[in-house]
Homo-oligomer: A and B are copies of this chain.
């Protein structure tokens, strides 16, 4: 839950390592309200990124592309009237994760370029692991880089490909890049959806009347009224033109997929169907498993809202202990809250979450959250619960200790900020001042996510928990966080 506090190093041009953040993408082909669909689709994906938003549309009747992108939330970036400007029957959109201090408009997606293969717009969710190598190669050949996005590497490869045909050039490009990538391309005659051979980030395809729609999550299909059809498959390019939908395989799917297990835990919305399963049900299952693995005598189960809700329900169901909404969220919190008073510091986390004292006083609490990243907010919540009279606080985390950086599209704090990298379980318990702390085991996590029946060749990436990076990370690892600084 606390990952959103991450304070990223200021990005910099020529800074390859800040490539990639958690993002959301959406695309639609041949619909009379293409840009309105993209707008709503991005809105449904807003939880995947709050830093910036953008839409590119294409109007075949006048052979023109239109784009609108800016910093901020979807409903700040797009003003009434903007959708009228974004004409045409096809569109792609992108929203990006909010990173503190980064205020650079050149990195806003989607990116649109003109090149010998035509005008191409692209929206990217993921992270290339060999971007630095490709960047160096392209640079030495005279390429110029205006952003710090690995997406730009992809476009350079397409433009400079010897293949004359766009799709051949694209296929060649996709064969050269490594890592995690769910991509949507818009051209003057097509929409193309791509997913890396490991299937790391989600990308689904749906239908709305006769139109084809793509989105990072099914909740975006739901919102616009589109019907889920299938996932874009690992290693697949789906090319939509006026002739219909064509599928092309640019690489064999990896023998063992590396679907991001953290999507279930943290990123995806509970109302989405992810990799074939309901996120809500998986999260509830994690809570059940946690209750089996880590029981503790207590009076009541509460969640850190909203991140721990489903897991807490599951824990309650399995343990037989009552679930209560012991923390009330204040919905009026905004960024302008005045902080510079002594009182504000004392008030702290209570401004967002207030305990229901009658549920807490004299009780032994099981407090469930989805993850524990830095631990600073959890510490404050525990303190607040104790002040409200809690007799015992048992913190239960419905995922394993988060200890390793992600190189596949998630901006993670550096290890020295990850509490589980710095401290032993005992130390964390002392730091948080809880009566007990327990995580879900890696085995339990896999058991729940695979429904207890792991299929052959189906694998999840859980490198953030166990450090097992199955997709080569090339130079990213040894550079470590140092790679985030220039040269």
**Interface residue ranges, A against B (CB under 8 Å):** 10, 12-14, 33, 36-37, 39-40, 43-44, 46-47, 50, 63-70, 73-76, 78-80, 82-83, 85, 103-106, 108, 111-116, 119, 139-146, 152, 155-156, 159-161, 219, 222-225, 269-271, 273, 278, 280-281, 306, 309-310, 313, 317, 322-325, 328-332, 334, 336-344, 346-347, 350-351, 354-359, 486-487
Contact = CB atoms under 8 A, between A and B. Distances in A.
A168 to B, nearest CB: 14
B336 A36 contact: no
Given A116-B140, A281-B359, 14 more contacts: A12-B64, A13-B119, A37-B343, A44-B354, A67-B104, A68-B103, A79-B336, A112-B146, A113-B144, A113-B146, A116-B142, A219-B354, A306-B329, A317-B322
Given A114-B139, A317-B322, A325-B309, A40 B343 contact: yes
B103 A115 contact: no
Contact of A313 (B80, B144, B323): B323
Nearest to A328: B271
Contacts of A44: 330, 354
19 contacts: A13-B65, A13-B114, A36-B342, A40-B343, A47-B331, A67-B104, A68-B103, A80-B336, A80-B339, A114-B139, A115-B143, A143-B143, A222-B354, A222-B357, A271-B354, A271-B357, A281-B359, A310-B325, A331-B331
Contacts of A356: 270-271, 278, 280
A324 to B, nearest CB: 7
Contacts of A281: 358-359
Contacts of A269: 328, 354
B70 A105 contact: yes
B146 A146 contact: yes
Nearest to A103: B68
A241 B76 CA distance: 43
Contacts of A43: 330, 332, 337, 351
Given A223-B354, A354-B271, A357-B273, A40 B347 contact: yes
Given A343-B224, A358-B278, A105 B104 contact: no
Give the interface SS of chain A, mostly helix, strand, loop or mixed: mixed
A86 to B, nearest CB: 11
Contacts of A325: 270, 280, 309-310, 313
Contacts of A114: 13-14, 139, 144-145
A459 B54 CA distance: 47
Nearest to A68: B103
A75 B159 contact: no
B115 A139 contact: yes
A29 to B, nearest CB: 16
Nearest to A361: B278
A161 B143 CA distance: 11
B146 A225 contact: no
A216 B63 CA distance: 38
Contacts of A104: 67
